[in-house]
Structure 1
């Protein structure tokens, strides 16, 4: 009988074998980050609410509609993190990581984030991200490095249909003039009252409105790409040149606007066409004024958030073939108390040798134990009974073919290592 309790609506949970895939793709990312010199952070799940109000932006849907905010026992307003960048930057500043070595500070983290959205496929109230940030330099090579790292990770998983969409949102020097032009254009459209209010606060957010009725009116809207200052244009050209050097394809997307206010210059998104309305599987960009916005020194930065939930959906949609390492390669089937003792020790020996091993528990008969072996996904079963013990050997059975041979107990580990390597 199942429990009467269920996970809250909109929470993405993973159980085996899907959870094994979740862990495997996260580990694959950790290796990509390590190879590029990024250190790991373990961070708070909730923060002072003002961190997100000041860092993410009051006009964003995230802050105005979607945050899980509560008052603690001390009367402080706290919020479950809706994204990672502001939290990472807060931690870098609080722990003075920007003063402890060469810049940029290169870090990554992972875990759940929370937004009070309408749950649907690929959009959850508790969702999981991989976040990577490089803080302390404007060098366009760092922009290209972060993009390349994410692209290489997607490729390592076997995804072949991921598209990289690329844009520049300018800087605090050239964006004000563009902002005025965009506001003038938007004020002439037939928009609802809430959207009209957004025009006055952050008109770029209107370009991010996904409603067809709004998008249909945006044809002819001025583009940031046509109003970049010389420095931003040079930066954007250099990023594209570097990506070309690395053999990474992109699509110039002049209307691309990320959903958070802090983005400047390089802005990008990874898109997967098989996921329908929730096709964005990751993205990021530069945020050169965010450190000052949250009360820190001038520290330019760039980073990304990659959605683990949507990446798994993309893997399943493509049938990409990326698999987690097996949880069990060898399954012990003991027949009798002495065999249980010997196979229990053998499982430990195999694990120390790097072989995933398990064994039947609860004194099961041969038929029940073999059913457990089949369910485990193991390649081999080691069957050990009283006759085998007397002969100093065990029966090694390949579960896919049914082939069975006797192997001396002293040779079991070496024999299994050799056969598993084939």
Structure 2
């Protein structure tokens, strides 16, 4: 019980930076009709209510495909599709209205629930919807008339922002309306994408039956860059997800820096994705979530925080802030969402064509992910660019790791003359050398 209490306190403390970062930001959440039918959807609603209470501006875009299919089937109407787009005649449009209206009412009811002893107690959430999406017909394509199937023409940004500024959650359905009074069946991906772009949202979040976007061998892809995403769009394996992936690509291209894909069946996936450093699903961004880069003066505090525990254990030689500031250009690091999680430094001895690999550290939560190998590779590249022919390291604890990376045991006599004079016999560090 004590451990559980400590873990809870740690979780709350670690989430504080994200709470502050997300407050006042606009998130567009997109979920299909399949998510609404999942047993976990009530928990998603609870998490949405929590986001609202934390000051996040929320626009929810729901789909209704399975609900529409059910009503089409009950009325014995034909299923008509062209290029995976539903052809919506007058009878099918009635099914769309019925299904979308029913789903919207269900979501609104869940967001209104406030029973005592429930996560929604005292929430008093206002949900606003209406004619906030202006649509136009797809028209005739390749000789096929899509009738009442439409596409987004314009998002009522002013109207939506008025509701968001009042603290309301905006709920958009997969239907749009024309100035001539017509109703059109829209894809919820189209609505969500255009809403995110028009509102200049900070995030677009998609809900998926999987943990996120999976690789072809079934592994969760936690971090995806936009170039990798483009490759997926041309891969037949991802054809069933094409509309969602296109929505993500269009959002990133419009300037939205991050999109997320999380599971709608995993309890708490949304909160874990937004309030923990590692998340729960897939993060798709314009650039890498983890950056390997040269350190700068602003990184001094993060490096000190990383290496201090290792210095206290005697694994690393103590470095003062002043020394680190003067040597910061020698450091390379990996930053994850603004936090330094690994670092190393290269001290050159050009007169001996050697370099010292020093201050190698990886955060305890991020070991085992080949980050040390990535930094070592970067250090080796730097050494070669400087004309060095070998790298040496002095270590008291991690000798086996360096042996695995190709270093060979060496002696004091193999060190540069200047380094030999500075050798600390009390630490009795072992010497390893890597030929480049």
Whether TM exceeds 0.5 here: the answer is: no
TM-score range, shorter chain: under 0.3
Q: Which gives a bigger RCO, structure 1 or 2 (Cα 8 Å, sep 6+)?
A: 1
TM-score, structure 1 normalization: 0.24
TM-score, structure 2 normalization: 0.23
